[in-house]
Amino acid sequence: MRWAHPVDAHLSKDGFSGRDGNGELDPLLISLATGGEAHRFLPQGMMDSTVRGSWLEALAVTLRERLVDQSRSAALAGKVLGSVEESIAEIVERDAALLSSDARDELRELIEREALGLGPLEELLADPSVDEVLVVGHDRVWTERRGKLERTDVRFRDAQSLDDAIERLLAPLGRRVDELSPMADARLMDGSRVNVTVPPLAIDGACLSIRRFGAERPSLRDLVEKGTLSEDMFDVLISAVERRENILISGGTGAGKTTLLNALSAHIDSSERIVTIEDAAELRLSQEHVVRLESRPANVEGRGEVTIRDLLRNALRMRPDRLLIGEVRGAEALDLVIALNTGHDGALSTVHANSPEDSLVRLEMLATLAGGGLEAGRIRDQLVRALDLIVQIDRTASGERVVTAIATLGEEGIEPADTSGASSE
């Protein structure tokens, strides 16, 4: 008897055709039947790296589904299974024993990514040069490296795989997204900031943004060496921190405001009690006496929200020597202005704005919207009295972060700071 293809002869020995419902050769079925030796039987070109990866991924999906069914059955029967890692290793050894040792190791890793991690994003998050991961739908993923966006070849298998990854990401953090609550912000254990937006708001599929923060934060000296600021700016900023001046860092999204704030904080005296207030705790201070506060959104029932304004009011009762506010973006602007004018000096904070002048306008607007009955002119007067220094940091077209201006505030309003030969002595 003549076989239509060598693979048919090999597989049919066990009564198994290795073909799908349409009669086409199925690499997944062949791999299962041939113990990972599909390259010996498939037509030339079907076993390149892309195809091999595809059928291993397909096999990982099949085994993961079996693992889910196994877990459900065990739960219904009242049985207690081992760890997820142990269950994955067991099902791979049992159901894919014919594969080579290397293939089984790769298969275990693929299943663990799907069952425990963020699937295909894991390889990007393992790369220390990646600063941000941006997902638009299941098939479009970008990364930011050194301030520049790059399209990657990484993609999720389908929309459901992306939805599952988002659920695994948010569930341990006590957050979730659905049609009724389609947006969520969260912070991972390593400090990375996460934003999720899903349909119907995200028209082209779920969108996921992960902004990473390395374990090592650059010092102010490191920023000088990178060209972010000059030596004279370095002296001015250190002197301002040591003199307990109130400093506002202004800049756009991704300009490096938090990085600069973190670097400045290293020059606060270690004997001082520091209270930090953030939406997502990103600051990593080196001092010992630090109280870290983080806001909390409302739960799915609309209750339990704790705002930056709530935390600021509470922090003023905690005997702070220094207040560090990650970003002023709401009604807390009014409370901050009042606090800085009533003896709480040495504060550091950031705001989204395009220039020192714009930052004052933005704070004035935020404070006005907070209510309190103060006229805009009086709020401006209070702002000028409250702040000593505004530092503008921008991201250039080439992706570099650069301090473009340092301004002082006084009776005459905003003036450029003298950065020519300043000294920290």
Tell me: the pLDDT tens digits for 259-282?
999 999 999 999 999 999 998 788
Distances (CA, A) of 34 to 12, 30, 94, 99, 322: 11, 6, 15, 8, 67
Note whether 269 and 410 are same-domain residues. Answer: yes
Examine residue 424 and state whether it is found in any structural domain, yes or no: no
Distance, CA of 149 to CA of 130 (rounded, Å): 10
> Residues 352-381: what's their mean pLDDT?
87
pLDDT category at 243 given cuts 50, 70, 90 is very high
Specify the higher pLDDT residue, 344 or 207.
207
CA–CA separation, 152 and 345 (whole Å): 46
Comparing 313 with 110, the larger pLDDT belongs to 313
Q: Is the peptide bond before 200 cis (omega within 30 degrees of 0)?
A: yes
Query: What would the two tokens of residue 162 be?
Result: 């992306």
* 334 domain residue, yes or no: yes
Residue 61 corresponds to which tokens in the numbers above?
Answer: 């999906």
Same domain assignment for residues 299 and 412: yes
102 and 246: one domain? no
Could you say which of 164, 194, 211 is where a domain stops? 211
Same domain, 14 and 76: yes
How far apart, in whole angstroms, are the C-alpha atoms of residue 215 and residue 406?
A: 28
What integer is the mean pLDDT of 46-72? 65
Give a yes or no: residue 274 inside a domain: yes
The answer to whether residue 23 sits within a structural domain is yes
The answer to whether position 1 is within a domain reads: no
Count of positions (residues) in the chain: 425
Alpha helices in 159-279 (DSSP H): 159-170, 220-225, 231-242, 257-265
pLDDT in tens, 76-95: 676 665 666 777 788 788 87
- Are 298 and 274 contained in the same domain? yes
DSSP string across 13-58: GGT---B-TTS-B-HHHHHHHHTT-GGGTSPTTTTSHHHHHHHHHH
Per-residue model confidence (pLDDT) at position 188 = 79
Please state, for a pLDDT cut of 70, what percent of the chain lies above it: 79
Res. 33: pLDDT tops 50? no
Q: Answer yes or no: do 175 and 206 share one domain.
A: yes
pLDDT of residue 300: 67
Other CB atoms within a 10 A radius of the CB of residue 244 amount to 16
Q: Based on the fold, state whether residues 227 and 322 are members of the same structural domain.
A: yes
Top-confidence residue, 142 or 42: 142
The parent domain of residue 369 ranges over 220-416
CA distance 356 to 227: 21
Pair 84, 139 in one domain? no
Query: Does residue 200 sit in the same domain as residue 244?
Result: no
Pair (108, 124) in one structural domain? no
The CATH number of the domain where 126 resides is what?
3.30.450.370
The pLDDT tens digits of the residues spanning 282-332 come to: 888 989 999 999 998 877 677 888 999 999 999 999 999 999 999 999 999
Is 341 found in the same domain as 382?
Answer: yes
Of 169, 185, 211, which one is at a domain's C-terminal end? 211
Which of 189, 211, 233 terminates a domain? The answer is: 211
User: Residue range 11-40: average pLDDT?
Assistant: 45
Distance CA 119, CA 111 (A): 8
pTM of the model: 0.69
- Provide the token pair at 108: 């275990």
Report the CATH number at residue 224: 3.40.50.300
Cα–Cα distance for residue pair 109/56, rounded to 1 Å: 11
Determine the distance from the C-alpha atom of residue 129 to the mean position of all C-alpha atoms in its chain, rounded to a whole number. 14
Residue 253: closest CA among 330, 324, 353, 186: 353
Q: Indicate the range of 105-114, 118-127, 246-255 predicted with least confidence.
A: 105-114
CA 236 – CA 80 distance, rounded (Å): 62
Q: What is the mean pLDDT of the chain?
A: 81
Asked whether residue 175 is domain-assigned, the answer is yes
What pLDDT, on a 0 to 100 scale, did the predictor assign at position 10?
Answer: 37
Within-domain flag for 423: no
105 falls within a domain: yes
Percent of the chain with pLDDT over 90: 42
Report the number of distinct structural domains present in the chain: 3
Judge if 249 and 311 occupy the same domain: yes
Report pLDDT for 40.
Answer: 44
